[in-house]
A and B are shown apart, each in its own frame.
Chain A
Amino acid sequence: MARIERAARVAVRKSSGLKFALSSFPDKVTIPNLVEVEGVTFGYDRRRPILRDIDMVVPRGRVVAIMGLSGCGKTTLLRLIGGALRPDRGEVRVEGRSVKGLSAEGLYAMRRKMGMLFQFGALFTDLSAFDNVAFQVREHTALRGALLRDLVLMKLDAVGLRGAAHLMPSQLSGGMARRVALARTIALDPMLIMYDEPFAGLDPLSLGVVGKLIRSLNDALGATSIVVTHDVQEALAIVDTVYYMSLGKVEFHGTPEQVRASGHPSLHQFAHGEPDGPVPFHYPAPDYAQDLLGGA
C-alpha cells in the first residue's frame, strides 16, 4: 500500500499541472504562516462592508477555526483566501504571495494546492462517489488506470467510504456525502484545506466522525486547515486556534482553553448559546407599546 502511495505521489508530481503549481510558490520552510490576512476590508456593496479591517494568521500545520454568528462574514473570508473575491482594502497572502496580485493562471496554480469542502459537499450529481474523488486527479494529473483507481480508493478508505465508491450522490446520506466531499478535497494532498460549515445539518454521529477526520487528515497529510463553523463544542475539541468574529470584525482570538475561560461578553454569549446579550434577541424596531397602540 505504501509503495502504491509513493508511486502515486511521484506520478502526481510529474504531471505538468502540479509541477507548475509547485514551482510557482516559494519553499514552505521559509514562511511560517501559510495564510496571512492583513487589514482586509470587503463588502459586496462598498457602502456596507461585511468585513472590516481583519487581521489573521494561519500557521503551517495548524487547524484554525473561524467562528461567529451567521452572516458575520466567515464564508466571505474563506472566499477571499481562495481568491474567489478580492478585498477592497488590505491584503491576503498565501505562502507569502498576495492573492490579489495573482493572474488567472497564478490563481489556478495556487488553488491546485488548496482544497475546499463546501457547506453541503457540492458533489457533482452526475458522477459517482468514485468519479467525484477522481475528478480533480483526472483534470490535473496524468494518472490513469490502476494507479488512479488505487489512489481514489485510498482517499475513500481514509474517510471510511471505500465500500460506497460506486454510489451516486443521491444515494448517500448527508454525513456520507460530506465525507465523500472530504475525500475529494484531499485527493491531491493539498497544503491548505478550507472547510465551510463542515458540521452543518449533521447528526451527532456524523458530526463526531467529520470532526475527527478534519483533525486526523490535517495531521496525516501535514496540511494546514481553516474551519469556518458556528458549532462551538465540536470545533473547540479539534482546533489549535480560534478566531471569533462579530459584525465583520475579529473580536477575539486564542486557544480553545482561552475561549472557554474568556470573559469577552459577545464570545461568552456565543459559546454558551445565550439568547440575549451583546447580540440582542430582537431586531431593531420602534417601541413595542407605541408600535401596537399606534395602529389603533
Chain B
Amino acid sequence: MGRIAELLRALGTRVINHWVWRLGFATRFLLLTLKHSGPSFRRFYLTVREIYFAGVLSLIIILVSGLFVGMVLGLQGYDTLARYGSSEALGVLVSLSLVRELGPVVAALLFASRAGSAITAEIGLMKATEQLDAMEMMAVDPIARVIAPRFWGGVLSMPLLAALFSAMGVFGGYLVGVRLIGVDEGSFWSQMQAAVDFREDIVNGVIKSFVFGVAITWIAVFEGYDAPPTAEGVSRATTRTVVISSLAVLALDFVLTAMMFRGL
C-alpha cells in the first residue's frame, strides 16, 4: 500500500511539476506573443518573410502529397462506389473527404514536420548561439522581433496550404477517376458542385486548418524558445515539436469535427 502511494505521489509530482507547469508557461508565452504582435503587422515584411519560409517552402511537399492522396481517394472511392452503382458520386466523395477532413489534417501533419520543426530548430539555435540574448542587450524584444512574426507567418500559411492540398487532391481524384477510369466528367463536377456546401464544408475546413495552424506554430515557437541551449537540447525540442503537434492536431480534429459536423 505504501509503495503504491509512493508511486502515485511521484506520478502526481511529475505531472504537476512537468506537464502542468509547462502548460502554464506555454500559455503565458502565447499571451505574451499575442501582446507583442504589433510589429508583426506594422512591419508586415517581417511576417511576409516568415510566410515565405513556413508556407512557400512547404509548397512542394504539400502539393505532391495532395495530388497522391487525391489519386488514392479516386482509386479507393471508385472501387467502393462501383459496388453500389454510384460511381458518378466519386467527385462528391473525393471533395468532401478532402475539404472536411484530409486536407486540413494531412496538410497540418506535413506542416508540423516540415515547417514546425524548422521553426523550433531555428529559434533553438538562435538561443544556443546567444543571438536572442544579443537582441535583448540591444533593447530589441525577441518576442516581438523573432517569435511573433514566425507565429503569425505559420498561422496565416496553414489555411492556404490546406486549401492548396485539397485543390490538388481534387485534381488527383479527377485524373484517376475521370481520365484513367472513365467516370463521366459532367457527373464528377456537377455532383461535387451540388453536394459541397460553402459554409458547412469549406468554411469549417478553413476554421479547422486555422486552429491547427495556431496549435502547431504555438508549439513550435515555444519549444524553440524553451529549448536548452545545447545541440542535444535543440534536437530534443525539434522532435517534441513534431510529436506534440501531430498529437494535438489529431486530438483537435476530433473535437472540432464533433462540434462542427455532429453539432456536439
Contacts and interface: CB of A to CB of B under 8 A. Distances in A.
A156 to B, nearest CB: 17
A119 B129 CA distance: 10
Contacts of A260: none
Contacts, number: 45
Contact of A139 (B126, B131, B133, B140): B140
B139 A120 contact: no
Contact of A122 (B134, B139, B141, B145): B134
Nearest to A17: B139
A194 to B, nearest CB: 8
A82 interface: yes
A188 to B, nearest CB: 9
A17 B137 CA distance: 15
B136 interface: yes
Interface in A126-164: 135-136, 139-140
Nearest to B53: A126
A139 B129 CA distance: 21
Interface in B110-150: 125-126, 129-131, 133-134, 136-141, 145
Contacts of A84: 133, 136-137
Interface centre among B136, B139, B140 (most CB of A within 10 A): B139
A116 B137 contact: yes
Contacts of B133: 84, 118, 122
A123 B140 CA distance: 14
Contacts of A108: 139, 141
A278 B229 CA distance: 33
Interface string B75-105: 0000000000000000000000000000000
B139 A109 contact: yes
A114 interface: yes
Interface in B144-174: 145
B130 A136 contact: no
A136 B131 contact: no
A111 B138 contact: yes
Interface residues of B, number: 14
Nearest to A116: B137
A270 B127 CA distance: 32
Nearest to B146: A124
B129 A122 contact: yes
B130 A119 contact: yes
Contact of A124 (B131, B136, B139): B131
A62 interface: no
Contacts of A179: none
Contacts of A23: none
A123 B134 CA distance: 8
Given A125-B129, A125-B131, A82 B137 contact: yes
A119 B128 CA distance: 12
A112 interface: yes
A139 B145 CA distance: 10
Nearest to B134: A122
A139 B130 contact: no
Contact of B138 (A120, A123, A135): A135
Nearest to A109: B139
B121 to A, nearest CB: 12
Contact of B139 (A111, A118, A125): A111
B131 A120 contact: no
Interface centre among A84, A109, A122 (most CB of B within 10 A): A122
Nearest to B141: A108
Nearest to B136: A84
Contacts of A123: 131
Contact of B131 (A109, A122, A140): A122
B139 to A, nearest CB: 4
Contacts of A116: 134, 137
Interface string B214-256: 0000000000000000000000000000000000000000000
B130 A122 contact: yes
20 contacts: A82-B137, A84-B137, A108-B139, A108-B141, A111-B137, A111-B138, A111-B139, A114-B137, A115-B137, A118-B130, A120-B129, A122-B130, A123-B131, A124-B126, A124-B131, A125-B126, A125-B129, A125-B131, A136-B140, A139-B145
| The 8 nearest A-B residue pairs measured at CB | A122-B134, A122-B130, A111-B139, A108-B139, A116-B137, A112-B139, A118-B130, A136-B138
